[in-house]
Amino acid sequence: MSTALVRSIALVLLLLAFTAAAQTQAQVAVPLPTQIPGQNAILMGAAWYPEQWPESRWEEDLRLMEAADLKVVRIAEFAWSTMEPSEGHYDFDWLERAINLAGRHHIVSVLGTPTATPPAWLTQRYPETLRVEPDGRRVTHGNRAHASSSSPRYREFCRRIAEQMAIRFGHNPNVVGWQIDNEYGYALMSYDEPTRQQFQDWLKEKYKTIGNLNAHWATAYWSQTYDNWQEIPIPIGGHNPGLMLEWKNFTTYVWTSYQQNQIDAIRKHADSRQFTTGNFMGFFDGFDHYTISQSLTFASWDDYVGTGHVDPAYNGLAHDLTRGFKRQNFWVMETQPGAVNWSKLNNFLNRGEARAMAWQAIGHGADDVNYWQWRSPLNGQEEIHGVLVGPDGTPVPFYDEASQAAHEFAKVESAFRDTQPLSQVALLYSYDSHWAIQFQKHTEKYDDVALLKSYYRALRQISQSVDVVSAYAPLDSYKLVVAPSLNVLPKELADHLLEYVRNGGHLVLGPRTGLKDEFNALLPQRQPGYLFDALAARVEQYYALEKDVPLYGPWGNGEASIWAEQLKSTAPDDEVLLKYGKSNGWLDDQPAAITRAFGKGRITYVGAVLDDELMEGAAAWMTQQSGVTPVFGPVPDGVEVSRRVSPGKRVFVLINYGTERRHVALPHAMKLVLDGKLADTVDLPPYGVAVALDDGK
């Protein structure tokens, strides 16, 4: 890649950054994708650590990367002690040489701020920057994420190193963006007294008076009433539900401001063409990702399987969750090159499985996939993690599979320019609701993420594209919106959902909906709370199930497990979709699912956790009622199809996750861009991939 071409890419990134910022402010539902139109619309790369190796080795590393068609390196996110070997003394010369050498091999760099790994001089000289565990023990130096994200002194050091990096590299044409820290939230918050005082100040700002807080938390219960802000603890273990939820919200505030501290330092000195992102961890629930993503150019995540093999439904759900944080395309900043080293059983993915994973990411809206890591380190906690190049500097067998996928990306990238997924169906995910359920599960078997996946698997099999978005996201573009576990449902949110239904949408609610307000207190009305008038039905009682309960109705016959709610209709136009069979006496022949037309739309409540077969029947009914159609057409079992669109163009990614060869009929003749031929059918071996372009020509 020539310097002129890199600068051209940089200019486009500048325009994209400006567009993304403007669209965020306007809350546009489907902003432009974050890819680089006109060049490298989809990218592949690796995490590279030149500070760990002699400089004489760099050329060979980059030669091997270029030969594999890798276009991106993420660099420096663990290199603080090399960049600032002593306080206030910076050495960026080596990093500049590495970045510019990568550029000469047509590889652009993403700079990671190194704040997940503070140097020993910092933590030893300023021990108050180290995190305190819930048991009061201050952690020691030598791992990562051992600093306190709430420490003002530590934040000052973070600001300084980020600013110095931006001064040096903010205008470097080979640097396209910044990753803030690394997997933040990976460790707990610090449980020290200064953090507690910050929490108390944050509560005071929110509630204004201690009486207001006591009222919302119902602290008369168990004599929890507070007389002043200084009495409020950091919750450890079980505690008042209001206090526990606010600690999570405070944690979100801390990590958001921690991130913003570094973004502000970078933005003062860096080209606006350079993006900012953060590598999240799928369904990690340490903070509200919708909130923390707002100030980023786009979201990224680290896609790992660990033990076993890829579950395409769960992996696809995590991709779509990440895409939903900002409702735009995203990056996979890390993914496993065959195996990891931190799981219970670090088996290797089957041959072709990682390639299929990379293509699945692209189909779901990723514009970049990066392997972690490039080469085995000679020491450290991750010595035997999967890599592309072994400790001897020569490629391991997986290098060829990564090369194949990267060559394919480069060959067909023009088909993906300006494209993004487009869905008729949305699943709503709420961190407040997730936390509230986790605090009071009522049965250890209740798993709201598993329930989300159950709906996702069945709905995506039919619609072949699903968005996962915040409950507060704009919903008008969707024919069907499903909220499997909207436990926390304040009136503002209920009004937002009712507006969607009144305007013609179909809203489906799952169990435990509308039990709590925004303070994690029970609503005075029964479930579904503020949505009762629209549904004209309520939950009479909920039951944690000891054993499965039979269900029957228009959706078919099956069983409810884990959780069941006894529904009662109050309107003649309610339609019962499922009833319980004989069980505990209370549930016998009582409604389990009810639907009702409301305004121009429809609202449906499903009060039980359904088995897979019943969920398929429910999904078929939901999509039929809502007018949802598949984006591609029928495909054999085990084949996943994804679609990315732009005006006048549709591109489909088909992946066979089955163990047998599958024959797929295309809706009509399309160009199979990996093969370079026009066809109306395609044969896919196990882990086989096809990319079909429909550009109307």
- Which residues are catalytically annotated? 183, 334
The whole-angstrom separation of Cα 689 and Cα 652 is: 10
The whole-angstrom separation of Cα 622 and Cα 544 is: 26
- Contact between residue 74 and residue 45 where contact means Cβ atoms under 8 Å apart: yes
Residue 587, CA distances (Å) to 1, 361, 529 in order: 67, 43, 21
The count of other CB atoms within 10 Å of the CB of residue 610 is 28
SS3 state of residue 68: coil
The count of other CB atoms within 10 Å of the CB of residue 695 is 12
Helix (H) or strand (E) holding 495: helix 491-502
The two structure tokens encoding residue 606: 């499903």
Residue 163, CA distances (Å) to 151, 159, 169, 178 in order: 18, 6, 10, 12
Q: Which of 241, 234, 252, 238 is nearest to 184 (CA)?
A: 252
Q: Which of 162, 182, 180, 176 is nearest to 16 (CA)?
A: 176
Cα dihedral 326, 332, 336, 337, rounded to 10, equals: 170
| Biggest alpha carbon–alpha carbon distance for the chain | 80
Cα dihedral 181, 185, 186, 188, rounded to 10, equals: 130
The bridge status of strand 466-470 relative to strand 425-429 is: parallel
The two structure tokens encoding residue 600: 């121009």
The count of other CB atoms within 10 Å of the CB of residue 397 is 11
Task: Kindly report the three-state secondary structure assignment for every residue of 163-191.
Answer: HHHHHHHCCCCCEEEEECCCCCCCCCCCC
Give residue 207's identity as a one-letter amino acid code.
Y
The whole-angstrom separation of Cα 515 and Cα 586 is: 20
The DSSP result for 330-393, as a single string, is: EEEEEE-SS--SSSSS-PPPPTTHHHHHHHHHHHTTEEEEEES-SB--SSSTTTTS--SB-TTS
The whole-angstrom separation of Cα 516 and Cα 436 is: 8
Which residues fall within 8 angstroms of residue 542, CB to CB, at 6 or more apart? 442, 511, 512, 527, 563, 564, 565, 566, 607
The whole-angstrom separation of Cα 105 and Cα 119 is: 31
The whole-angstrom separation of Cα 297 and Cα 17 is: 6
